Amino acid sequence: MRSEAATRADELFWKILHGGEYERIPDALPVLTAAYLENPGDSITASHIGFLHIWRLAERSRLDGAPATITDHAVLARKYFEESVRLNPSDARVLGFLGAAMLAEATIHKDEKLKRRGYYTLRDAIHEWPEFNYFTAGYVMSGEPADSARFKEALEWQWLTLDECAQEKVDRRNPDYSKYMRLETKKGRKRVCWNSWIAPHNFEGFFLNMGDMLVKSGDWRTAQRIYASATLSPTYASWKFQAVLEQRIREASENVSRFNAAEKRAGEALGRPMFSSRFACMACHQE
């Protein structure tokens, strides 16, 4: 049975996550960590702490001059995701988050051994739950150079996510996702293909990121079609990143060079792909 402190910590976690309250992460972490220390056997609290740490790192462009110590969040995210997986190895979603945190930490510390472990952890997670982890694995690798084998694999994994969700191979040249909207479900493994209470705009965020990856690859025309798929969502009108998506569609060709630039101005929201933006997590999770 979970403790009262864990229940209160859950409420706080979901409140700031769904509210997009990035600035409250430093206040929330002590509350969740105290609940975990009271009961270190609670896999849910451990995973929520891991997610707060990875969110703090992922959306660091919100900060005015992120300190070098921001990288410590990768180490802590891995620690808590490892604990969550150890306590509940049946949740393949957390296994995917663990692989992502391992890759983030390995990239920061130039640790090739850890990078290989992270990569194969992601492949294990894909095997366990492809509809969820093709996206997770591809997303974390979307920061690799566009001409690298890892980036190309990451982009293919986004296509494979669509194949899994559509239950057939989606047309790579002229993707039309409207014909698959009838498959929406809130149950079973396929539920992660759609919006949910956990990720209220998962559908929109997926297509925003995939469009960004296609632009980075140079295929901006296909990217425009993929971006437009986000508008099929019944909750598109309430999504806070409509303006971002619509500007992406207008500027798709120009963004090829922007997304591949070696350096980005700190805090620039529209000149960088979703993975390194201020909304890296919030595009899916903010209400």
Q: What is the CATH number of domain 1-128?
A: 1.25.40.10
CA distances from 120 to 29, 115, 231 (A): 29, 9, 34
Mean of the per-residue pLDDT values for the chain? Answer: 95
Helix H segments across 129-278? 130-140, 149-166, 202-217, 220-229, 242-250, 252-259
For residue 250, how many other CB atoms are within 10 A of its CB? 12
71 pLDDT band, cuts 50/70/90, is very high
Mean pLDDT of 52-64: 96
pLDDT recorded at residue 270? 55
Which one has a higher pLDDT value, 65 or 231?
231
pLDDT of residue 287: 97
| pLDDT tops 70 at residue 267 | no
Q: 183-226 pLDDT, tens per residue?
A: 999 999 999 999 999 999 999 999 999 999 999 999 999 999 99
- Angle formed at CA 47 by CA 238 and CA 195, multiple of 5 degrees: 25
Residue ranges per structural domain of the chain: 1-128, 146-287
pLDDT of residue 263: 45
Separation of alpha carbons 120 and 127, rounded Å: 11
